[in-house]
Structure 1
Amino acid sequence: MKMTYRFIVVEDVELQRQHITGLLQSRLDLEFQAAFENAQEAYQYLASGQNPMPDLLFLDVEMPEANGFSLLESLRRLEPSFRVIFVTAFPEYAIKGYEYNAPAYLLKPVEPDKLFRAVDKAIRELNTPAAPAPAASAVSAPASRPFIMIKVKQMLIKLWLDDIIYCEGANVNVRIVTSAGEYLTRERLKHIEQQLPADRFLRIHDSFIVNLEDVKGFAANFTTIELMRTEVKGKALSLPVGPKYRQVLKEKLQG
């Protein structure tokens, strides 16, 4: 295990770049390597062959001319083993960020404890031996479990699709009820709906989206439905179905 880990910060806003760098330099196990205000400078520095690759790369997404994802793809062709931690003001890129196996996707303004937890996770990954490549005859790995990312206060939360029971729009918030608990986000219900696959989730009311696999029963006239995984004292939760949504619901449930 290494005693110190080199890091590079790529951030176009100077105050943010200084803030992140200063926090990281307060740790004895981290060694500052370089900081850049754009992706081009960072790539030229690392692709020159005269400078080592960092152990940790702290990367903004939205930057002038070239974004963080394009830089990351170029650098991983040179050296794939470093860890990247995204630090950005744009939550909408979170899913794409996790597709790059980032240990963390942090939202600005960066909180020290969240930053340091991300660093700890990245270091653990660096010190975990890579799994051997499977034999050619090995069975293919199962498809990844689908999920969405939602913003809860200043954190991005991963929600597995099969855990979601229903979503309820309430004023400026959306309450997402899952088998693991409830989450309140300030995202619009329409935005949540756009992230959910239409073959599994359905808008049944101006205020409700349900997981079709959780529909336990429905009224003969399709004015209400009952949901599994919501039973209280043996009684399932009943939700209203808006008039303009009933025909589509009927077609989904009855084929």
Structure 2
Amino acid sequence: MKALLVDDEKPARDELKFILEEIGVDIVGEADNFKSAVKAAQLKEPDVIFLDIELGGENGFDILENLRKKRITSDVVFVTAYSNYAVKAFEVNAKDYVLKPFSPDRIKFTIEKLNSKLKEKNKKLDIYKITVTNNGRIYLIDIRDAYYFYANGRNIFVKTADNEYMVENTLKELEDRFYGLNYMRTHKSYLVNIDKVNEVIPWFNGTYMLKFKDISDEVPVSRNYAKKFKDEVLK
């Protein structure tokens, strides 16, 4: 699970970061104000945003409203020293409301709850079938036959052994939907079916290049994703 931390107090971010990393959460970014929070959410596409409510004159609810207008669908957990915002937090569909100072057990409970909801959501879907288009025609493909998904501008495509199709979903939505399957984000523009990879080539500055069975395409593993890739795939 990837998390973005938004709090104007660095000690609070550091404490939360330590707790989350101890339970295996990948911290993909930090922000201390409205502008940097929205930018980080757009660039990093976190699964969850831990969002403070009072940020030095700015407001966490305003940040959430802006994120939703930009169609950023990350789950939001409010973290605050104040209990009086709880009702409003759940009215705007926050996934949880955690009071400071942080308790490791309380944070672990939140992460377990988020993971459980994601798994339950996927059980209700036929996660192996996805609707795609090509030249105006609609097809259903099995994602186990896909090699990778990639972004080209605003469009998302999927590569199979014999063709390439356009997909309506964002990479973030696909990543969430494939949770628990052997798919991994290797770059901000690529989501890869690890089962189709047959060669990992060390590249520059700790990055990698991936080659696949049966097709000649190569896909990068960028620096932002290299550590997770190494820990989970090259272990």
Q: What's the TM-score, normalizing by structure 2?
A: 0.49
- Larger radius of gyration, structure 1 or 2? 1
TM-score, length-scaled by structure 1:
0.45
